[in-house]
Amino acid sequence: MKNKYLALLFLPLFSFSQEYVDLLKIGYGQTFNNNFEGSNESTHVTTFDIDFTYPVILNKNNVLVTGAIFIENEVQLYPSTDIYESPFTKLYSTTLKLGLSSKFNDKWSSTVVLLPKVASDYTSITNKDFFLGGFAVLKLQKKQNLIYRFGIYSSAEPFGFFTTPMIGWYYLSPSKKFEMDMSLPISAEINYTHGSFTYGFDYFGIGRGFNINKDNSNEYVDLSSLEFATYLQFNAFEKSVLLRAKVGYSSNNYEVYTKGDTYGFGLTAFTFGDNREQLNPKINGGIYLKFEAIYRFNLTSKNDLE
Where do the structural domains in the chain lie, given as residue ranges? 2-305
**Secondary structure class of 265 (helix, strand, coil):** strand
Whether 299 and 7 have beta carbons less than 8 Å apart is answered as yes
Residues making up the chain, counted from first to last: 306
Task: Using alpha carbons, select from 6, 216, 36, 10 the residue that is nearest to residue 101.
Answer: 10
Reading phi first (left if > 0) and then psi (alpha if -120 to 50, else beta), residue 252 is in: left
Residue pLDDT, tens place only, 134-160: 999 999 999 988 999 999 999 999 999
121-136 confidence digits (pLDDT tens): 999 999 999 999 999 9
Is residue 218 helix, strand or coil? coil
Q: How confident is the model at residue 252 (pLDDT cuts 50, 70, 90)?
A: confident
d(CA 91, CA 94): 10
Q: pLDDT by residue (tens digit) across 51-96?
A: 999 999 899 899 999 999 999 999 999 998 878 889 999 999 999 9
Beta bridge partners of 136: 112, 152
Sort 105 into a burial class: Cβ within 10 Å, 0-12 / 13-18 / 19+: exposed
Q: How far apart are CA 249 and CA 229, in angstroms?
A: 6
Give the pLDDT score at 101: 92
Residue 18: pLDDT band with limits 50, 70, 90: low
Q: Tell me the Cα Rg of the chain.
A: 21
Over 70: is that where the pLDDT of 3 sits? no
pTM, whole model, 2 decimals?
Answer: 0.90
pLDDT at residue 20 tops 50:
yes
CATH topology of domain 2-305: Porin (2.40.160)
Residue 264 pLDDT exceeds 90: no
Percent of residues, the chain, with pLDDT higher than 70: 91
